[in-house]
Structure 1
Amino acid sequence: MDSHTIEQGKTMAIISYLTIIGSIIAVVLNSDKKNEFAAFHIRQGLGLCITYLVFGYFVGQFDSWMISSAFWIGFGILFFYGVIMAASGKMQEMPLIGAYFQKLFSNIGK
């Protein structure tokens, strides 16, 4: 992938990590241009947002600040990792779950 493609897709890639609404906006913006770099990060960001919402529902059932804090810190690190990778122009998957997101959302960006 050339540097021009990466530079064009950086904004959409970073937006994809900003909540579920950001992921949806990035999907819509990328539907016309079909940027491969942005599509990679959109799949990662959308998967991370959906996982956050699903796990957040179950973590909310526990009435423990320790469990909630661990949840927030863990997902905060993953979101920060994704934004840093997108801003630096790297296509690196999320640890443990990134490959699953690429398979699950393989139709996005193609």
Structure 2
Amino acid sequence: MRNNSPFPALIAYIPIIGWLYVYLLQRKNPFAVFHLRQSVGLFLFLVATFVIWAVVAYLLALIPYMAVFSVTLFTVVMAFYIFGFVIWVRGILNALNSKSIPLPLFGQWASRLPIA
């Protein structure tokens, strides 16, 4: 395959299976590894969002009458997940168009992940 073929980069946006494919079989393809880093960065961003919400919501639930506020924070988490979906689609489109553009908000950080 060509070095900037969109197929491995596109596969990188499929969690776990795509990550393993790119990591094990396309490790020497810098274009695919770039999109692998972006995909893993997106996943870590969404997991961190959920963990932070869970901790804050649990602590707020311990305070009387603040449980309602902790439930309200869940809407913020849902907004981040919708944002994550939009960014995921944008990453897929970047891969299909053979572009190496970092994803917004965390893309520069994700480019420095020690993968491959």
Identity rate of aligned residues, in percent? 27
Residue 44 of structure 1 is matched in structure 2 by 38
Identify if the C-alpha distance between structure 1 residues 24 and 85 changes in structure 2 by more than 3 Å, giving closer, same or farther: same
Q: Show the 5 A alignment for 1:5-84.
A: 5-7=3-5, 10-31=6-27, 34-60=28-54, 61=57, 62-64=70-72, 65-84=74-93
1:87 is the counterpart of 2:110: no
1:21 deviates by 4.0
Q: Which amino acid in structure 2 is aligned with residue 87 of structure 1? A: L
Q: Provide, for residues 12-57 of structure 1, a one-character-per-residue CA deviation record: whole Å limited to 9, x for no partner.
A: 21121122443233212213xx111111111111111122222223
Identify if the C-alpha distance between structure 1 residues 63 and 15 changes in structure 2 by more than 3 Å, giving closer, same or farther: farther
Q: Which amino acid in structure 1 is aligned with residue 37 of structure 2? A: R
Q: Which amino acid in structure 2 is aligned with residue 19 of structure 1? A: P
Q: Which amino acid in structure 1 is aligned with residue 71 of structure 2? A: D
TM-score w.r.t. the length of structure 1 is: 0.75
Residue 102 of structure 1 is matched in structure 2 by 111
Consecutive aligned runs of 4 or more in structure 1 exceeding 6 Å deviation? none
TM-score w.r.t. the length of structure 2 is: 0.72
Q: Which amino acid in structure 2 is aligned with residue 46 of structure 1? A: V
Where structure 1 has 5 or more consecutive residues not aligned to the other structure, the ranges are: none
Identify if the C-alpha distance between structure 1 residues 29 and 56 changes in structure 2 by more than 3 Å, giving closer, same or farther: farther
Number of residue-to-residue matches in the alignment: 100
Q: Which amino acid in structure 2 is aligned with residue 43 of structure 1? A: R
d(CA) in 2 for partners of 1:59, 1:15: 30
> Does the 8 Å CA contact 2:46/2:84 hold for their aligned counterparts?
yes
1:63 deviates by 2.6
1:19 match: secondary structure: coil
